[in-house]
Amino acid sequence: MKSKPYLDNKKNIIVIVLMMLIVTVAIIIFKFSSTNVIKINTEFGDQFTILCDDFGDLYDLSDVNSDFSTDLYYFSNKNQLHSVVDNQYIRCYRISDGLENGNKDKYIFKLKEYDKFIAVRYSNVKYSNEYMSENDAAIVKSNYFCDDLLMKISLTDLDHLFHDEMIEVAQKLTSGDYEGLDKYGLTEEMINDKESLDEKVKIMEEYLKENTDW
């Protein structure tokens, strides 16, 4: 037969475990119930939802009309999302993603040919998990020259994944050798548009200066 002190200790342990479970469940319920939802309808016709919790450790932006989502460092109001460009090739938004310590902005863009959003953090210094996936980067690479902004914001990621190839692409464009660059989205219309072509060449020249002895 168990002694009374033994039974009392067992009851105490059970009570403590139950109290810990109750506290844990209460914290979880509080955390999720305190989540703030920000809904944004953009001037380009897209709808985004941003989930922000009161602890400041969960910021997630998702597209209402697809399965696209991306994490953010910080988001507190609609003014942090800026409509940037919407042309025949690309639709793009910039998110002021950071506090006063200068965290990096994030761009989300949709290539019209693929009708899917892709996110890219615009910075030369990134954590390994901040680069585009290889599949997304391959899509961007095949449309690289379609928009000057796209060229600028995606170049760090493309260089990370396809360094030698991007060096060759840059060398061809800056030397006026356009053969084969159509597979990167360069069209005759772009070649004949001197202002646009000059900007593309400028971006590639800067890239070569930073990455070669060019």
Residue 31: per-residue pLDDT:
53
Rounded Cα distance, 210 and 130, in Å: 21
The residues pairing with 23 across neighbouring beta strands, listed in sequence order, are none
Integer Cα distance of 85 and 168 in angstroms: 28
Tell me phi and psi for residue 202, to 5 degrees.
-60, -45
CA gap 202, 183 in Å, rounded: 20
**pLDDT cut 90: percent of the chain above it:** 61
The pLDDT assigned to 92 comes to 97
Count other Cβ atoms within 10 Å, centred on residue 3: 8
Q: For residue 83, what are the β-bridge partners?
A: 93
Low-confidence ranges of the chain (pLDDT < 70): 1-11, 26-35, 53-57, 98-103, 214
Give per-residue pLDDT as tens, 18-41: 888 887 776 665 555 446 788 999
The per-residue pLDDT for 34 is: 47
Q: How many C-beta atoms surround the C-beta of residue 199 within 10 A?
A: 14
- Give the pLDDT score at 126: 76
> Alpha carbon of 72 to those of 67, 81, 167, 171: distances in Å?
16, 12, 31, 35
Burial of 88 (C-beta count, 10 Å sphere; 0-12/13-18/19+):
exposed
Query: C-alpha angle 174/180/183, rounded to 5°?
Result: 105
Single-letter code of the amino acid located at 163 = H
Q: What is the pLDDT of residues 174-194, one digit of tens each?
A: 999 999 999 999 999 999 999
| Tokens representing residue 23 in the block | 């506290």
- CA dihedral of residues 62, 113, 107, 73 (deg, nearest 10): 30
